[in-house]
Structure 1
Amino acid sequence: MGEARGWVWSGGREPEQLQLSPLQIPEPAPEEVIVENRAVALNPVDWKVLPSTTLGWQPGHVPGVDGAGVVIAAREKAGIAVGTRVAYHQNLEREGSFATHTKIVAKALHVVPEGVSFAQAATVPCPGLTAWQAIDKLPVEAGRDVLVIGGGAATGNFLTQLAVDSGYRVWVTASERHHPRLRAMGVAGLCDYHDAKWRMGLLDALQRTSGSGNLYAAIDTVGEDHARTLAPLIGYNGHLVSLQGRLNTPPMPGFTTVISLHEVALGAIYRYGSELDWQKLRAAGQGLLGAIAEGQMQTPEIEPFDFEDLGNTLARLKAGRQRGKLVAEL
């Protein structure tokens, strides 16, 4: 079908070792399409998987999970027309989004509405759908107190808005520069995680506002060790949702607050998801994109970068030297 370009992996553990190389545009299988990428978004998982030995990558593999673009080729069983604007979250085991063209199964596509740019659309799949899965874990009890960790990051951006929209009283940790944006989303309170005493301040605020002095749920975006520190903040029959890893041992003694533990792993749907799971995920993606188109939801703050500098930019993300959601437009 012609030539493409992409950033390929040759066994290196570091983002700087990715190389921009010429590629062949692949042919789609019966239920697949070829997307000509117009925007590529970077996510932490993109650098975290580079040292992995369990994904079956061979030298020349193209990484990357999130992209948005136009369908330029589709087989009949794909059920989607050439020319459709789409966003997607790719299977980590398949050739990814760090290229001008990506082959992907049609069921993983989300149609991008008019009024939503490709750059905006590319910010949605990994952080937006992860946030939706996290909120979906909670039995809805409007008015209860929910804590979102890391509201300034892309996933936290979507978590905060979805939690507020679900009717929860939402508390968020974020650095102070994000506070005005988050406050405008309707949160109940903000904590600066640089303050070592933010947990004590949160408990005091909960006591003043609800009288309970504890949370209904906490959603952690940092990791297992950090998630464990949130468990004492959660009240009886509450919920702890972990987006980075899982808690393999209970964080609280038995017969105490009996909180429920939840893990989120968006990419696992490729191996374990049923058709109903895919239907729900597609509906969630369309809902997020539709809300953005209607001005009812904000995408993360976008920090543009040059596709020609993707390897170095991914290294910058790994080092935590970005200020927004890194997106390259092609």
Structure 2
Amino acid sequence: MPNFETSAQQTIPNTMQALALSEPSDAFTLSEMTFPIPQCASDELLVKIEYVGLNRVDAIFAQQGFMPWKFPHILGLDAVGVVVKAAQGVYPKVGERVMWHANIAQQGVLSEYAKVPNYAVSVVPDNISAQQAATLPCAGMLALICLDKLHLKEGESILIEAGAGAIGQFAIQFAKQRGADVFTTASKRNHKLVKKLGADFVFDYQDKKLCEKICKELGPTGFDAVLDSVGGEATNRNIELMRFCGRIACLKPLPVIDNGLMFLKAPTISIVSLGGAWLAKSLCAQQKMSFLCQFLLQNLSENKIQLPQISEVKFEQNSVTEALHRQLNGSFTGKQIVKI
């Protein structure tokens, strides 16, 4: 058995409180439940959770469930907290604040404690608060992975769907860092926000003449790249707006794409998944998530990126259930985080 070091400032209990899903449904609700404290392997850290960032995917899985899950299941994937137990010689050590995107196949992080492999976390710098760090993992990493898969270069044009969402806000900023011309869609009330983040052209996603107006600004060549976070019919429309052999990164399952359109545009299509890093048991991919989170923290620490507006949610079953339903209906702009 490995030798573990624990926090001298607190006694680790035998049980913890968590918010768990008894069964998935469209009218899902979470319940406050008691679970045993997770038992750690030699390469795992026990973390006392401070904040959990909520994502739309949390709400989708609350509706639909996920095949490997056994119920009741603790929801939540993005966590920030302090290491309270670690094997001797393992880094990060006890007392360090860390953030990570959790293994989707295991229990989530809407709980007082959680375990995580030490190689999958990033240490949060002292000049970044736990609240700020909680906004970063899922949305920030998806934005970065999409731009990497798109091989976005200086001077190229990119369409970023849903620019006012958390993924879109990060993607706009990182695309501008790479010197791209950024086109984005958003509701009219958020046009000022996305322009402030660096978008060069903004369009109302509800405009019936959306394609016509985009083509007027873009010209005849088409987009070099598209970040498609919407899916469905928008994917076909976005491929039509691309240049020949353009690139598209998709965050949603692919719809049926017309064969003639595929032949006409010959697009390079990339699928982006964070959960796959865990499901495929890819140690390299899990470590890469740690590196990406470190990059996000560095950019924030150096004031190179702005965060979405933060809304704090109580660690209470009704409050978090309502917050997850808000993730689905799009009734807010920003990032919801739960204070544990």
The question of whether the paired residues in 2 share the 8 Å contact of 1:114 and 1:293 is answered with no
Q: Which residue of 2 aligns with 1:318?
A: 328
In the alignment, the residues of structure 2 paired with residue 16 and residue 52 of structure 1 have an alpha-carbon distance, to the nearest angstrom, of 10
TM-score, structure 1 as length reference:
0.92
Q: Which residue of 1 aligns with 2:231?
A: 223
Q: In structure 2, do the counterparts of structure 1 residues 186 and 52 end up closer, same or farther at CA, with 3 Å as the change threshold?
A: closer
Give the fraction of aligned pairs with identical amino acids, expressed as a percent: 29
After TM superposition, give the deviation of residue 57 of structure 1 in Å. 2.0
The question of whether the paired residues in 1 share the 8 Å contact of 2:299 and 2:305 is answered with yes
Q: Equivalences for 1:1-330 in 2 at 5 Å?
A: 1-2=12-13, 3-14=15-26, 16-52=28-64, 54-76=66-88, 78-207=90-219, 212-247=220-255, 249=257, 252-272=260-280, 274-308=282-316, 309-330=319-340
After TM superposition, give the deviation of residue 38 of structure 1 in Å. 0.9
AA matched with 1:176: K
SS at match of 1:200: helix
AA matched with 1:120: Q
Q: In structure 2, do the counterparts of structure 1 residues 200 and 77 end up closer, same or farther at CA, with 3 Å as the change threshold?
A: farther
String of CA shifts for 1:241-296, please: whole Å, max 9, x gaps.
11122356466535422111111011101133644433433222111111111111
Aligned length: 326
Higher mean alpha-carbon deviation, 117-126 vs 180-189, is at 180-189
AA matched with 1:74: A
AA matched with 1:84: E
After TM superposition, give the deviation of residue 107 of structure 1 in Å. 2.1
In the alignment, the residues of structure 1 paired with residue 333 and residue 262 of structure 2 have an alpha-carbon distance, to the nearest angstrom, of 41
The question of whether the paired residues in 2 share the 8 Å contact of 1:78 and 1:105 is answered with no
After TM superposition, give the deviation of residue 17 of structure 1 in Å. 2.4
After TM superposition, give the deviation of residue 156 of structure 1 in Å. 0.6
AA matched with 1:179: H
In the alignment, the residues of structure 2 paired with residue 96 and residue 11 of structure 1 have an alpha-carbon distance, to the nearest angstrom, of 15
Q: Which runs of 5+ in 1 are unaligned?
A: none
After TM superposition, give the deviation of residue 147 of structure 1 in Å. 0.5
After TM superposition, give the deviation of residue 36 of structure 1 in Å. 1.1
Higher mean alpha-carbon deviation, 270-279 vs 189-198, is at 270-279
String of CA shifts for 1:56-105, please: whole Å, max 9, x gaps.
32223211111111111112474320111111111111111111111112
The question of whether the paired residues in 2 share the 8 Å contact of 1:15 and 1:314 is answered with no
SS at match of 2:62: coil
TM-score, structure 2 as length reference:
0.89
In the alignment, the residues of structure 2 paired with residue 252 and residue 69 of structure 1 have an alpha-carbon distance, to the nearest angstrom, of 51
Measured on the aligned residues, the alpha-carbon RMSD in Å equals 2.0
The question of whether the paired residues in 2 share the 8 Å contact of 1:303 and 1:327 is answered with yes
AA matched with 2:264: T
